[in-house]
Structure 1
Amino acid sequence: MCPWDTLSPGVGAAASTDGRGVSGASAGLSVPGGGGARKPAAAAPTGRACVLQKRHFVDHRRVLVRGGRGGDGVSCFHSEPRKEFGGPDGGDGGNGGHVILRVDQQVKSLASVLSRYQGFDGEDGGRKNCFGRNGALLYIRVPLGTLVKEGHEVVADLSHPGDEYVAALGGAGGKGNRFFLANDNRAPVTCTPGQPGQERVLFLELKTVAHAGMVGFPNAGKSSLLRAISNAKPTVASYPFTTLNPHVGIVHYEDHQQIAVADIPGLVRGAHRNRGLGCAFLRHVERCRFLLFVVDLSVPEPWTQVEDLKYELEKYEEGLSARPHAIVANKIDLPEARARLPQLQARLGQKAIALSAATGENLEELLLRLKDLHEEHVANELARGRQPLRW
């Protein structure tokens, strides 16, 4: 059987709203193999298994999409009492449904995107000049910041809430014999079949979109800091590489302003050469409007961390390290850290925000600086005639 004859799980009914389908059990599908006793359903995973599934993160996906096929036209003639030869009345087939990518801010990764999608077919035409119904639109929900590529060419950048992109066009419906009626042919029998939908292979790539991006070496305290200033709950532990996926938290202010802050997994020296987590997560820094360099003050010579981070960013993309930024000196609650703060600021030639994500010391200064960076970004975007990112 052709793989297009069956829809992938989750691609079925209710496509005109969100594209989610009905599972085999709820749709009343029988198990192949017939009349024997049914095999008991597997129990739902519990405990740690559920936690692992919940944390599953995918930031790239290959998708095969195909628009719905157009319905066939019909060849028939009108007939009724005392009007035996009423002429052709075969209706046209409906157009196939498009497959559309749509940004949904509730979706955080590409894990829910399937590898294959088939659009809905149009209905065939009918008698009495009845046209077939068009196929319903099939929406694929993708996260904000999804880049769509065909081959090596970028065809769409879905970086704003509500953005849509037609991934595959539905086929045109066929013509009924009524369409071919002419002065020299009063009884046409010709009708045409529906056209197949467009078929494409697309590559989806997620680049996290946020106002601020926190970059730093592993175990610098970025996740603890994000938990302290926002509603995000990333995993926090005392060992390096705790954060393996980007997390975005929203900082709320009293004037109802909201700033999105992204916790980027820890970088290491040589990240631009794909060491450590490598380029797979360096690309998440690209969409951040300004940066927070998080430095661990408890280690010797903490200023080298900022120098190394800027070097890695610049090697990955020219100009990335020159974006507006702030230096955040974390773990000021430790005795040896406080003594290194003056030397850090002298070496970098700029003020560092000394704080402790663990105790909450001096978080207010970071929040004020974060708001200043955001207001500068908004002013620059408006001056260029562009709409700033809003959450």
Structure 2
Amino acid sequence: MGLFGGTAPLLRQFTQICKTFHQNQANYGKMAAALRPKKAKSTRKEPQYFSDSKQVRAVGGKGGDGCVSFLQLWCNERAGPDGGDGGSGGHVVFQASNDVRNLNHVSSVLRAEPGNNGTAKDCHGKNAKHTVVKVPIGTVVRNAQGLIVGDLAHADLMFVAARGGAGGKGNRFFTTDTENSPKVCEYGPPGEDIKYTLELRSMADVGLIGYPNAGKSTLLHALTRAKPKVAPYAFTTLRPHLGIVQYQDHVQLTIADLPGLVPNAHRNKGLGIQFLKHAERCTLLLFVLDASVEQPWTHYDQLMHELQQFGGRLAKRPQLVVANKMDDEASAENFEELQRRLQQPVLGISAKMGHNLAQLLINIRASYECHKSQTEEPS
């Protein structure tokens, strides 16, 4: 009995392992569910915005001045000029990097360091270090006329935004056979001063589109760890907020809460063109409609009209439609009419109460994977 008494626990453990293995085999191939965040949200009060476009001014470093000096030795008081040249000013360089995700850290004025001045005894000034500013991969650089002058599509790709001035020559440089003791030198010229507009080609995988006060910020707060401002009045969101949803298979999708859109936005009414440019940098568009208002289907028609008037392929992006605020009493009847008029799948949710959010995350992942498989080039 002592010989076989310890085999029963091992047998039960082996049976449990086999049962778990068969369950995993049965669930293999199904859509991975989203992981709910276990960690508590931050208590930080300051909102963290997402900057996908910024106007900057790049100023190159000034070149160092040359030096006027004459060497004096104990045996020769007129040994000749020995003024050194100034050092070159630094450049302002944009570098694509995986370390940054947005343009919040980029200052509006970027200045490079100046070069050091030349000194006596033929000592040249030190060249200044270049100011390297990291930007997200896919950043597009436009000049003051709106033309694309740089496309940082790959990691470690660099774009010289402003060149520094060259160092000025000292009086030693101007020594000739006829002029043995020149008393002139050059001042270091200033660096380039150029204005640019930095834009991100891709901001988020999913963009929330809807009328003001439709519940977009509440939905982002319920799906992710983001903390956008939530208030019962229009235009609460003036700048995009981003949140990340992580699935069981370690896939992460970013969701952007965009400012509310109003009629005639393509004519720059409200946030206008700025809002539409935010939506243009999202892969999947998620229309959030307020099911508690009268005729919510007219909101969808107006939103599609604005996207079509903006031009490009924005209106042809893959999209999902959700009817929010289903916890309201007037939403049930509007939801049925909304499904009939739109003639496409509409998911009823309640971002405030957390109703049907798990199904929404599954639909988002399925639509994203479908779009990704269609855009991938065949090998």
TM-score normalised over the length of structure 1: 0.70
Measure, in 1, the Cα distance between the counterparts of 2:141 and 2:127.
29
Question: Partner residue of 1:262?
Answer: 256
SS, match of residue 353 in structure 2: coil
Give the match for residue 324 of structure 1: 318
Q: Output aligned runs, 1:181-220, within 5 Å.
A: 187=180, 189=182, 191-202=185-196, 209-220=203-214
Identify the residue that residue 287 of structure 1 maps to in structure 2.
Answer: 281
**1:121 corresponds to:** 114
* Deviation for aligned residue 1:343: 3.3
2:154 maps to 1:168: no
Quote the residue 2:271 is aligned against: 277
Shift in Å at residue 248 of structure 1? 1.4
AA in 2 matched with 1:243:
T
Q: Give % identity.
A: 43
281-290 vs 299-308, which moves further: 299-308
1:298/1:334 contact within 8 Å kept: yes
Q: How far apart are 1:178 and its partner, in Å? A: 4.8
Assess, with a 3 A threshold, how the Cα gap between structure 1 residues 379 and 126 changes in structure 2: closer, same or farther.
farther
Q: Does the 8 Å CA contact 2:62/2:188 hold for their aligned counterparts?
A: yes
Q: How many residues get paired?
A: 332
Please point out which of 370, 376, 381 is paired with 2:364.
Answer: 370
8 Å CA contact 2:323, 2:349 repeated in 1: yes
Secondary structure of 1:358's aligned partner: coil
1:300 maps to a residue whose letter is E
Query: CA separation of 1:57/1:291 partners in 2, compared to 1, >3 Å: closer, same or farther?
Result: closer
Partner of 2:235: 241
2:143 is paired with a residue whose SS is strand
TM-aligned CA deviation for residue 73 of structure 1: 2.5
| Matched residue SS, 2:321 | strand
Q: 1:290 to 1:81 in 2, by over 3 A?
A: same
In the alignment, structure 1 segments of 5+ residues that lack a partner are 1-49, 386-391
1:132 is matched with 125
**1:69 corresponds to which residue?**
62
CA distance 1:54–1:147, change in 2 (3 Å) = farther
Distance 2:87 2:104 in 1: 35
Candidates 348, 351, 355, aligned match of 2:345: 351
Q: Secondary structure at the match of 2:282?
A: coil
**Greater Rg, structure 1 or structure 2?**
2
Q: 1:363 to 1:262 in 2, by over 3 A?
A: same
Contact 1:109 1:206 (C-alpha < 8 Å) held by counterparts:
no
Letter aligned with residue 161 of structure 2: A
Q: Within the alignment, does 1:310 sit opposite 2:304 as a pair?
A: yes
Counterpart amino acid of 2:160? V
In the alignment, the residues of structure 1 paired with residue 47 and residue 331 of structure 2 have an alpha-carbon distance, to the nearest angstrom, of 36
In 1, distance between residues paired with 2:51 and 2:317?
27
Bigger CA drift: 73-82 or 312-321? 73-82
Change (3 A) 1:165 1:76: same
User: Alpha carbons of 1:162 and 1:234: their partners in 2 closer, same or farther (altered >3 Å)?
Assistant: farther
* Matched residue, 1:35: none
Higher relative contact order (CA 8 A, sep 6+): 2
Shifted more, 122-131 versus 284-293: the winner is 122-131
On the 8 A contact 1:149/1:156 being kept in 2, the answer is no
Deviation of residue 64 (structure 1)? Answer: 4.6
1:61: Cα distance to partner? 6.4
User: Which deviates the most, 69-78 or 310-319?
Assistant: 69-78
Q: Deviations over 1:254-288 (max 9, x none)?
A: 33322111111111222212233322322211111
Q: CA deviation at 1:106?
A: 7.0
Cα deviation 1:54-104 (Å, max 9, x = unaligned): 689988766554322111233445565668776664432111122345678
Measure, in 2, the Cα distance between the counterparts of 1:163 and 1:216. Answer: 36
Q: Distance in 2 between matches of 1:152 and 1:138?
A: 24
TM-superposed deviation, 1:220: 1.4
Alignment match, 2:331 = 337
Q: Find the counterpart in structure 2 of residue 4 from structure 1.
A: none
Q: Secondary structure at the match of 1:272?
A: helix
1: CA distance, partners of 2:151 / 2:222: 32
Separation (CA, whole Å) in 1 of partners of 2:140 and 2:257? 18
In structure 2, do the counterparts of structure 1 residues 242 and 101 end up closer, same or farther at CA, with 3 Å as the change threshold?
same
Check whether the contact 1:71–1:125 (CA below 8 A) recurs between aligned residues. yes
> 1:163, CA displacement in angstroms?
7.0
CA gap of 1:367–1:324, structure 2 versus 1, over 3 A, is: same
Q: Do the aligned partners of 1:296 and 1:331 also contact (CA within 8 Å) in 2?
A: yes
Shift in CA distance, 54/143, structure 1 to aligned 2, threshold 3 Å: farther
C-alpha distance in 1 between matches for 2:68 and 2:293: 82
Structure 1: how far apart are the matches of 2:250 and 2:55?
A: 39
Taking a change above 3 Å as real, the CA distance of residues 290 and 72 of structure 1, as seen in their structure-2 partners, is same
Q: Distance in 2 between matches of 1:83 and 1:384?
A: 80
